[in-house]
Chain A
Amino acid sequence: MVAVPRVAVTLEQCWHAVPGGTATSAIAATGALDRRDDLSLVGVSARHSSPPPEPWVPPIATRAIGLPRLALYESWHVLRRPGVESATGPVDVIWVTGGAVPPRTVPMVVTVHDLAFLHRPEHFTAKGRRFFRQALDLTRHDADLVLCPSQVTADDCAAHGFDETRLRVVPWGVDQRRAEPEEIRSVLAHRHLDRPYVLSVGTAEPRKNLAAVFAAFARLDRDDVDLVVVGPSGWGDDVAALAGSVPRDRVHLLGFLPAHELPALYAGAATFCYPSLFEGFGLPVLEAMAQGTPVVTSVGTSMVEVAGDTARLVEPTDHEALTEALAALLDDPDEAQRMGEAGRRRAAGFTWDDTAALMASALHEVAA
């Protein structure tokens, strides 16, 4: 048996109240990394009395450091201790998947999802901003390599003083399984969706720009199409209030949905509308592409790297352009089909196994 590097993986964000994309990606990437046999992984978390709820359970064994989250985060950032080894025993590399940055006791690779808190500080609480600022400064100073899910984020890091030669782009993957026709019928029936619909997803927070989705849908002014919005309530935006201008019977606010319903909901949509103002990657866009659903999303963001030429790109604040893009796809089923197919082909290159292959490269680069 060849000795392989042992990697401590921070997975505390699985226990966050709204785990979100950083937990989703960390769980999927860790699972894929664990299927490889060139690394051995051990998870690290704060002290908890129970595992997180079902979709957020880490895919690898996790060792707890004996402090509750806030104390651990504060201790890591301010005191720069305790080392992860106090829970994991000796390791060769630390991979920080998000959240707080432990002390660099061995070579450390840190994932930086986005620098949204710098660009859109109004979308964050003061406490959140302070925390992200600390994490960013520590990452800039201590990380041997920084993994970014998109070139946009890597460029952003470089613009904020990171050493360019330590930045590595590792895109996220997507589950390649396409929803079956029977599955689509069943989920749509369960959710009472019996007409064509435009789909949007995302936590209800200002950055996701759901206001534009509702505004564009209202402007569409069509009585043959519904609007479906999926996602947990976050903060700052009241989804129901945003929907105010749109007739009640035409909007389906589905809230948080179990993950297994999502593929069918994507696959059943006429178009997917995602005018987010800022993303580190844009996983929902890739999820829609993987189901062959044509996408309308924001120009000048990481979504462009995900979708390439396969999506309609608009200025997310231009409600008229958004409306036109949606109308163009709804009015031209052939074009919608062509775009959906192109998106699906492109999505076929974003597998979690390949994400893990690129991540493993970075972990081995610092372990060497």
Chain B
Amino acid sequence: MTRDKGSAKGREVVERSGAAAPMGDGSRRGGAGGDTKHIGVNLLWLVPGVVGGSEEYTIRTLMGLAEQGGNDLEVTVFCLRSFVDAHPEVADAFPMVTLPLTGREKSMRLAAESSWLGYQSRHHDLDLMHHAGGIMPPLRGAPGVLTIHDLQPFVMPEHFSPVKRNFSRIAVPRSARAARLVLTPSEFTRQSVIDVLETAPEDVVVVPHGVAPTPDGSTPADELAARYDLDRPYFVFPAITYPHKNHLLLVRALASVPDALLVLTGGAAQLEDEIMAEAQRLEVAGRVRRPGRVPRVDLDGLLDGATALLFPSLFEGFGAPVLEAMSRGCPVVAADTTALPEVVGDAGILLPPDEPEEWSRVMADLLENPDRRRELAAAGRRRAATFTWGRSADALRAAYQRALDREPA
């Protein structure tokens, strides 16, 4: 993967603003002749901790590529300094070139995707640049492939600020047109790209999500029970309180399911107050636990002990939490919309996201029926086992190859 294993690995090529030359060091492709192709991965959009599921997806896919080894591809990552701090494992696997800005990185990073990256692309003599965050600046030299994680700003514009909406409306279609190949995490997003952006179907390929093998060391049940006040059977919904996540449906469904708790993990957003007010109004607030963001080990433990994961979201470009729950043997009940049906398949229960009575009925049924829960758990594990990061990396590698082989239009 990387040039001469050992020396190239783990090196961070930092381009300092005051350096005598902005070249960092000799990371220009020197002897990488033969059939080795040099791919740049543009992660300037990836501000750690704020971009949602696309962060995990991007990193795990790249790590899958690194783990496969091989010397047909040489990958250099272009990113923010904060990304290197947040993901040392990526910095360990690939040469990293960080944006040499001294101010707050977020304000100028979009501009840097044209100017700074334009120079880097030329300087590193890239064969291909993978713009992994939905936007692709028009640059000279290296052709681009583009990952579009979802088209929510097009499908549900009301959930976005006018600024974000207008930006997406212009930048995303232009990026898709300029790319040799568009990559999506799901067939659902692939179809959206074809339908909304009118990209040719043969130019849009799925690079699926994977799920890591269940890690050891989730928080024990008794500890969780004490920490989150779990004195009854409970359902889990891990999601930031964005409108499209549809928390209100679960609060309403809970009203008809006595003697169960609803544990809502994840950060606060626009609908936070409204959700809690609805819980008060329906007199279920005493059965809603709202711990906010919880550590990964706690969430894993919560999934292990939950009656089911409920996922009524109205829009998912993929829906990674559903896959993670399945891989841990937690029964899944999800909305029958967007990408969720293709992730859940027949290994969980799919329900309309606007019918709380249906959700109440299924929740009550699962509470009473341990056999049904065991059945779903086993089906979920089987299905999740087919989503490996190695498979994602294979798809990514094949996409790179296809883009490289393609003659420019």
Which residues does A use to contact B, with CB under 8 Å? 2, 4, 35-38, 145, 147, 151, 154-155, 164-171, 173, 176, 299-300, 304, 308-309, 313, 345-351, 353-362, 364-365, 368
Contacts and interface: CB of A to CB of B under 8 A. Distances in A.
Nearest to A306: B107
Contact of A360 (B22, B105, B110, B166): B22
A168 B139 CA distance: 9
A351 to B, nearest CB: 4
Residue with the greatest number of chain A CB neighbours at <10 A, chosen from B22, B114, B123? B114
B99 to A, nearest CB: 8
Residue with the greatest number of chain A CB neighbours at <10 A, chosen from B103, B104, B106? B103
A236 B298 CA distance: 67
Chain B facing A: main interface SS:
helix
B270 interface: no
A351 B101 CA distance: 9
Interface string B88-101: 00000000000011
Nearest to A347: B107
B102 A353 contact: yes
Given A169-B115, A353-B102, A365-B118, A299 B162 contact: yes
B100 A309 contact: no
Nearest to B120: A361
Interface string B39-63: 0000000000000000000000000
Interface in B124-156: 138-140
Given A349-B103, A364-B119, 10 more contacts: A38-B20, A155-B170, A169-B110, A169-B114, A176-B103, A300-B166, A348-B103, A348-B107, A354-B101, A356-B17
Nearest to A304: B163
- Size class of the B contact interface (CB-based, 8 Å): 35 or more
Interface of B: 17-22, 100-108, 110-112, 114-116, 118-120, 122-123, 138-140, 161-164, 166, 170, 178
A361 B22 contact: yes
A173 B102 CA distance: 12
B111 A358 contact: yes
Contact of B115 (A164, A176, A361): A361
Contact of A38 (B22, B103, B104, B140): B22
Given A4-B20, A38-B21, A349 B108 contact: yes
14 contacts: A35-B18, A147-B115, A165-B139, A169-B110, A170-B111, A350-B103, A351-B101, A353-B103, A354-B101, A357-B17, A361-B115, A362-B115, A364-B123, A365-B122
B146 to A, nearest CB: 15
Contacts of A358: 108, 111-112, 115-116
Residue with the greatest number of chain B CB neighbours at <10 A, chosen from A35, A145, A357, A362? A357
B107 A36 contact: no
Contacts, number: 117
Nearest to B102: A353
Contacts of B139: 165
Contact of A354 (B103, B119, B138, B140): B103
Nearest to B19: A38
Contacts of A171: 107-108, 111
Contacts of A368: 119, 122-123
Contacts of A350: 103, 107-108
B110 A151 contact: yes
Contacts of B178: 164
A64 to B, nearest CB: 30
Pairs of residues from A and B, 6 with the lowest C-beta to C-beta distance, nearest first: A349-B107, A349-B104, A361-B119, A164-B138, A351-B103, A168-B115
Contacts of A357: 17, 100-102, 116
A130 B14 CA distance: 46
Contacts of B122: 365, 368
B21 A365 contact: no
A35 B19 CA distance: 11
B105 to A, nearest CB: 7
B289 to A, nearest CB: 30
